[in-house]
Amino acid sequence: MTLPADSRLDDLAARVERIVASAPVLDIHTHLYDPAFGPLLLWGIDDLLVYHYLVAEAFRQLREPYEDFWRLDKSAQADRVWDALFVRNSPVSESCRGVLTTLHRLGIDPRRHDLPSLRKWFAAWKTPDYVDRCLNLANLRGILMTNSPFDDEERPVWEGGFTRDTRFQAALRIDPLLVAWPDAAARLAQWGYVSSADLNQANFDGARRFLADWARKISARYVMVSLPPSFRYPDTSPTTRLIDEVVLPFCREHGLPFALMPGVKRAVNPALRLAGDGMGRSDLSALENLCSANPANRFLATVLSRENQHELCVVARKFRNLHIFGCWWFTNIPLVIDEMTRLRLELLGLSFTPQHSDARVLDQVIYKWDHNRRIIGSVLAEKYVDLARSGWWVTEDEIRRDVSALFGGAFESFCQS
């Protein structure tokens, strides 16, 4: 028996990387908005630089009090970040490299420009053209937004109505309902859905009506919550009661998956504002219990702690009503993306979604997907080469089929299952 020639294996790997580099993606979790939301859709050099990932890193270099930074306007904050992270130091972190990849893919050499001239370059764009440019460069076929009826800037836009851009799909975000029930109940009471914060049947019915009205208004694809590492299910907390009596029955009735994102500790350092959230390891028996006690519900999950990733794969192996996705936030660095993608392919095959961008600024989809594609492409190429070494040569069509599953297809079939 002859072993496969190295050059055939190299060709296979190169073909896989080419296919991954050019396959269209559905980005299943972002914080971007339909362009009809106007200024809520962030883009341009200043927003790229004041992204909270970079602000957290800049504060490590800056010596001024936090409040002095926050008193500055956006451009002045961007100047401070640029100076701290790009001028006085080499921009080696993943978030800094992201700004550079974005500029590079837009055809800009940042070494030959200062911030005022970059600002001029961006100011020449009109939003609709720039949206097309970014989505084309990232090769996105769709984007899932994060849509919260509790957000006072966002809610009036939905209430006013607008013509949807079909590339921007909605996800109903309900954190306050599950993690700050008394406050959420006060809002729901104001909007006529509940009469008090009492956990009784009438209020559960009202909260379900609230979800149904908003899911319909925004055409939600799924319902979503982020949770602290202390999240347990079941327990005696209002969170468990509300999941059992409101969220899960609603999701079953409307055929929507429920996405959970455990692991975030909000405002560990409040002086950093949006950049001040931390993380902790979660107890994934909560997810096991949810999946096991509610087989008629479908769950999506991504978990923040690197230490949870192996067990998350094992939970997904046990429960086919769980679809895991993305390398979320602090795990969204090449070292961990590589590791998580391997873990998932090796334990789950192709029944997961390796990445979402979590972009908060439109232009970020360019770098996030550029970086993701390289890592996913090289890990996948290695896997197919391993298969070839075992005598199984995948065809070009099979590679395309598999990549399309990883880049949104598996998510879509899970949502429809």
Give the separation between CA 77 and CA 81, rounded to whole angstroms: 6
Residue 226 interacts with which of Zn ion, ligand FIX, none, CB < 5 to 8 Å by class: ligand FIX
Please state, as a whole number, how many other Cβ atoms lie within 10 Å of the Cβ of residue 91: 18
3-state DSSP of the chain: CCCCCHHHHHHHHHHHHHHHHHCCEEECCCCCCCHHHHHHCECCHHHHHCCHHHHHHHHHHCCCCHHHHHHCCHHHHHHHHHHHHHHCCCCCCHHHHHHHHHHHHCCCCHHHCCHHHHHHHHHCCCHHHHHHHHHHHHCEEEEECCECCCCCCCHHHHHHCCCCCCCEEEEEECHHHHHCHHHHHHHHHHCCCCCCCCCCHHHHHHHHHHHHHHHHHHCEEEEEEEECCCCCCCCCCHHHHHHHHHHHHHHHHHCCCEEEEECEECCCCHHHHHHHCEECCCCCHHHHHHHHHCCCCCEEECCCCHHHHHHHHHHHHHCCCEEEECCCHHHCCHHHHHHHHHHHHHHHCCCCECCCCCCCECCHHHHHHHHHHHHHHHHHHHHHHHHHHCCCCCCHHHHHHHHHHHHHHHHHHHHHC
Residue 97 interacts with which of ligand FIX, Zn ion, none, CB < 5 to 8 Å by class: none
Is the Cα dihedral 291, 318, 256, 154 positive or negative? positive
311 to 350: interface string for Zn ion, x by CB under 5 A? ----------------------------------------
Determine the size of the site formed for ligand FIX (CB under 6 A).
7
Residue 294 interacts with which of ligand FIX, Zn ion, none, CB < 5 to 8 Å by class: none
Q: Which of 57, 175, 245, 358 binds Zn ion (CB under 5 A)?
A: 358
Give the separation between CA 366 and CA 98, rounded to whole angstroms: 9
Determine the size of the site formed for Zn ion (CB under 5 A).
1
Least distance in Å: CB of 108 to ligand FIX? 24
Please report whether residue 329 would count as binding ligand FIX according to CB under 6 A.
yes
Q: Of 100-159, which residues contact ligand FIX (CB under 6 A)?
A: 146
Least distance in Å: CB of 309 to Zn ion? 17
Residue 133 interacts with which of ligand FIX, Zn ion, none, CB < 5 to 8 Å by class: none
Q: Which of 226, 294, 302, 372 binds ligand FIX (CB under 6 A)?
A: 226
Give the separation between CA 214 and CA 159, rounded to whole angstroms: 10
Q: Of 70-109, which residues contact ligand FIX (CB under 6 A)?
A: none
Least distance in Å: CB of 352 to ligand FIX? 18
Residue 360 interacts with which of ligand FIX, Zn ion, none, CB < 5 to 8 Å by class: ligand FIX
Least distance in Å: CB of 258 to ligand FIX? 15
Least distance in Å: CB of 388 to ligand FIX? 36
Q: How far is CA 337 from CA 59, 112, 180, in A?
A: 25, 32, 32
Residue 297 interacts with which of Zn ion, ligand FIX, none, CB < 5 to 8 Å by class: none
Give the separation between CA 350 and CA 332, rounded to whole angstroms: 20
- CB closer to ligand FIX, 145 vs 256: 145
Report how far apart the first and last C-alpha atoms of the chain are (Å, whole number): 44
Residue 119 interacts with which of Zn ion, ligand FIX, none, CB < 5 to 8 Å by class: none
Residue 240 interacts with which of Zn ion, ligand FIX, none, CB < 5 to 8 Å by class: none
Least distance in Å: CB of 175 to ligand FIX? 8
181 to 220: interface string for ligand FIX, x by CB under 6 A? ----------------------------------------
Residue 113 interacts with which of ligand FIX, Zn ion, none, CB < 5 to 8 Å by class: none
Q: Of 342-401, which residues contact ligand FIX (CB under 6 A)?
A: 358, 360
- CB closer to ligand FIX, 15 vs 360: 360
Least distance in Å: CB of 31 to ligand FIX? 6
Q: Of 240-279, which residues contact ligand FIX (CB under 6 A)?
A: 261
User: Nearest residue to Zn ion, using CB?
Assistant: 358
Footprint of ligand FIX (CB under 6 A): 31, 146, 226, 261, 329, 358, 360
Footprint of Zn ion (CB under 5 A): 358
